[in-house]
Amino acid sequence: MVNLLLAVIYIAFISLGLPDALLGSAWPTMSQDLGAPVSWAGGISMTISAGTIISALLSDRMTLRFGAGRVTAVSVGMTAAALLGFSIAPNYWVLILMAIPYGLGAGGVDAALNNYVAIHYESKHMSWLHCMWGVGTLVGPYVMGYALSNGQGWPWGYRYIGIIQIVLTVMLIASLPLWKSRKEVSAATSDNAADNIAANTAEVTQPRRPLGVKGVLAIRGAKEILVMFLCYCAIEQTAMLWGSSYMVLADGVDKVTAASRIAVLYFGITIGRALSGFLTMRFSDPVMIRIGQALILIGIVVILLPLPYHLGVYAGLAILGLGCAPVYPCIIHSTPAYFGEENSQAIVGVQMACAYVGTMLMPPLFGLLAQYVTIRLFPFYLLVFLVLMVVMHESLRRKRTI
């Protein structure tokens, strides 16, 4: 039964990654069909991000009232409905309207599912699950490409993914009894002291009020882990958005080559998370975070090296992706150990909100620097957030131990 629930969660992570790259891959065609300026994709993206921030901040309250399983099922259902809404949207403003439930659903499932896995499963599963999310983000554009290349148009690309999400919603609803019994199963099958402590803590039935943002910020060490999350997402998303442009404008790579070579970053993250799952069997979450930070630093340095044939920027982005791989899942997985299971849902919810703030604001901020100063600041911009993340992590380690 435990393995069956874990299999459902793995499928959920693959499926949740599928829609994340659809807008970017389909927007050139969508904007033309809908008569919308190319820049208006930012409005849809920001609406989704705003929804995710709101639902992530509400996740503690929702999970306390309804449970992680129900919140996850309803959130995926909202995402499915939004994707189907995208597929029949007659104009841009309907897309904006559909982006609201899309964002609310995405934020709810992110916070609830990540915290549930952090509490009930080992760190290796957290890394492998996020690897599966990466697989989903790689497959999504191929689904959209299939729809476009076969003359079905972008609505069918969204429709295909929406149908998959509906199937996932049905699976999650059917699996709700497994979520309810997971605590008892964990207690019965734990084979080490740490698992037993976690299970016993999970069985405490005393009611708890939602912490809220103020309550989270009052917890010793919480500010540090929140800033760490914002910094990580600033690094990852800035590299994803501006890596190709840096290749072209600063390193002299032609546009077509740069568009394809940025994939080394995505593959680095996905492959790195697969490898991280094995490494977590030997190393703790804090050590894995430090390994990731060291690799990110090496990647930034390699980008700056004047290697021939643009090898520096290619290799640097690949190494940077490998460095990013363990940081995100290990920060989440370490949260219950640092702050206790009773506080972890609230903290993970605010972590997700900080992640979306970093994703929404920091890449556009670099865009302004690139436009009005120089795009050559790209590696130094990443370095600033890396240094801040390292300082916050070491401060957290001094205040709290696992």
pTM: 0.77
Residue 103 to residue 79: CA distance in whole angstroms: 8
Report CA-CA distances (Å) from 202 to 64, 187, 346, 362, 402.
Answer: 12, 9, 15, 37, 18
User: What residues contact residue 366 under an 8 Å CB cut-off, 6+ apart?
Assistant: 238, 241, 242, 377, 378, 381
Domains located in the chain, CATH noted: 2-202 (1.20.1250.20), 218-399 (1.20.1250.20)
CA angle (266 as vertex; 262, 272 as ends), nearest 5? 135
Hey, what amino acid is at 101? Answer: P
Cα radius of gyration (the chain):
21
A 10 A CB-CB count for 305 gives 11
- Cβ atoms of 340 and 51 closer than 8 Å: no
Residue 400 to residue 274: CA distance in whole angstroms: 28
User: What residues contact residue 154 under an 8 Å CB cut-off, 6+ apart?
Assistant: 26, 29, 30, 33, 144, 147, 148
Residue 29 to residue 37: CA distance in whole angstroms: 11
> What's the confidence (pLDDT) of residue 68?
77
> What's the confidence (pLDDT) of residue 194?
43
User: What residues contact residue 192 under an 8 Å CB cut-off, 6+ apart?
Assistant: none
Report CA-CA distances (Å) from 344 to 111, 180, 215, 368, 376.
Answer: 10, 18, 12, 36, 39
- Letter string b/e over residues 254-265, b meaning 16 or more CB atoms within 10 A of that residue's CB: eeeebeebbebb
Report CA-CA distances (Å) from 57 to 30, 311, 326, 355, 375.
Answer: 31, 42, 24, 12, 34
Q: Structure tokens of 214?
A: 């103020």
> What's the confidence (pLDDT) of residue 2?
55
> What's the confidence (pLDDT) of residue 364?
83
Residue 187 to residue 356: CA distance in whole angstroms: 34
Report which of 20, 23, 19, 30 is spatially closest to residue 153, judged by C-alpha positions. 30
CA angle (389 as vertex; 43, 52 as ends), nearest 5? 30
> What's the confidence (pLDDT) of residue 57?
81
DSSP letters, 16-75, are: HHGGGGHHHHHHHHHHHHHT--GGGHHHHHHHHHHHHHHHHHHHHHHHHHH-HHHHHHHH
CA angle (124 as vertex; 59, 121 as ends), nearest 5? 50
- pLDDT mean for each 10 residues of the chain (402 residues): 76 80 75 80 81 82 79 87 91 91 84 79 84 80 82 88 89 82 48 42 50 82 92 90 83 74 82 90 92 96 85 90 92 88 81 84 86 91 96 92 76
Residue 37 to residue 214: CA distance in whole angstroms: 40
Report CA-CA distances (Å) from 364 to 39, 266, 356, 361.
Answer: 12, 20, 13, 6
- Cβ atoms of 92 and 34 closer than 8 Å: yes
User: What residues contact residue 150 under an 8 Å CB cut-off, 6+ apart?
Assistant: none
